Amino acid sequence: MISSPLLDITDLRVSVRHRGEERLLVRDVGLTVRPAESVGLVGESGSGKSMTIKAAMRLLPHAVTVAGHIGFDGRDVRGLNRRDLARYRSREVALVHQDPRAHINPTRTIAQFVTEAAVHTGLMPEDEAIERACALMRDVGIADPERRLAQFPHQLSGGLLQRVMIVAALLPEPRLIFADEPTTALDVTVQSDVMAILLEQIRDRHAAMLFVTHDLDLAAAVTDRLAVMYAGAIVETGTSAAIYERPQHPYTAALLHSRPSTTEVRRLAAIPGRPVAAYESGEGCAFAPRCPFATDRCRQEVPLRREVGDRIVACHRVEEIAADAQVRAS
Ligand SMILES: Nc1ncnc2c1ncn2[C@@H]1O[C@H](COP(=O)(O)OP(=O)(O)O)[C@@H](O)[C@H]1O
Ligand SMILES: [Mg+2]
């Protein structure tokens, strides 16, 4: 039996006013995450991944217009009152940011940062929060947690600070973790350690995860399902195994294996052209200017998301491209 979604985003649109005109940043995004499931949201920089997460956590400023439905465990997130919203943001979901240093108040101790959400929403008293923080810090490989709790952010390395961020996220035992490029800002040498720790903790707690990254290969390796985003819209969704095995949208195919390898020298299968934001795309398919398969129809008519075999793809030519690939392979 398929459980009903924990997070359910439908027809999400996000726009900002810029010099008197409305700029669309996220368009018609639909995304679900079921309990204990991990879903990857993948796309190049500027595609609208962080905006989507911020909308789901209601962290966007008033100047940003949000439309569509955001449901969490059957409740309407956009309709939550102040108290319920504070509870939702600090206990039911948690966010691990890309750059921990930019999101930790430098004037407060690690202890204050880590225990804040749990203590302020009345989940547990401070001494219990400290005790749990120490245990969690040991779990994520931080030696001498008592000493670390008394320190300030500048006294910790980036890798250590991101582990602290993970501890802060896990402490209130949220049911869903938004991980927004959680290792991108770290030194390459500690990236895989931090990623492994985050995944292990999320799995042990049976929490769900929405993992945001530009790295499709990594996302496919650590998630159950994937949603690929381009110019503010989702262009392909399916199971991670299926997408990794057989990408359908030309953009997904181009993203796959496009990361530089640290163990072998090989050419980047770079995608020509630059990514565009939703508001910059003209008529037709937003990917058409960079797509080797684009035809006049692609340049004129926006492809709708539709079911193609085991996934949902927004591309006019998926079937033809697949048939073509089969002919070439045989
Ligand atoms: N506060 C803002 N005002 C206007 N445009 C913004 C703002 N924040 C981000 N953008 C634009 O919105 C688009 C999506 O941004 P973002 O969600 O941060 O992308 P991603 O996380 O996928 O890299 C980008 O084109 C970015 O330039
Ligand atoms: Mg981002």
Q: State the DSSP string of 50-112.
A: HHHHHHHTT-S-TTEEEEEEEEETTEEGGG--HHHHHHIIIIIEEEE-S-HHHHS-TTS-HHH
The finding on whether 14 has its CB within 6 A of some atom of ligand 1 is no
On whether the CB atoms of residues 176 and 202 are closer than 8 A, the answer is: no
pLDDT given for residue 322 in this prediction: 79
Distant-in-sequence, close-in-space partners of 2: CB < 8 Å, separation ≥ 6: 34
Topology of domain 7-262 in CATH is: Rossmann fold (3.40.50)
Nearest alpha carbon, ligand 1 atom 24: 46
User: Ligand 2: distance of its center to the CA of 179 in Å?
Assistant: 10
Measured from the CB, is residue 281 less than 6 Å from ligand 1?
no
- 330 residues of the chain, pLDDT tens digit each: 567 899 999 999 999 998 889 999 999 999 999 999 999 999 999 999 999 999 999 999 999 999 999 999 999 999 999 999 999 998 999 999 988 888 889 999 999 999 998 898 888 999 999 999 999 999 998 999 999 999 999 999 998 999 999 999 999 999 999 999 999 888 888 888 889 999 999 999 999 999 999 999 999 999 999 999 999 999 999 999 999 999 999 999 999 866 655 444 443 456 778 888 899 988 999 999 999 999 999 999 999 999 999 999 999 999 988 777 766 666
Give the pLDDT score at 270: 63
- Rounded Cα–Cα distance for residues 139 and 127 (Å): 19
pTM exceeds 0.85 for this model: yes
Ligand in nearest proximity to the CA of 62: 1
Minimum CA distance residue for ligand 1 atom 2: 16
Count of all residues that appear for the chain in the document: 330
Whether 275 is in the pocket of ligand 1, judged by its Cβ within 6 Å, is no
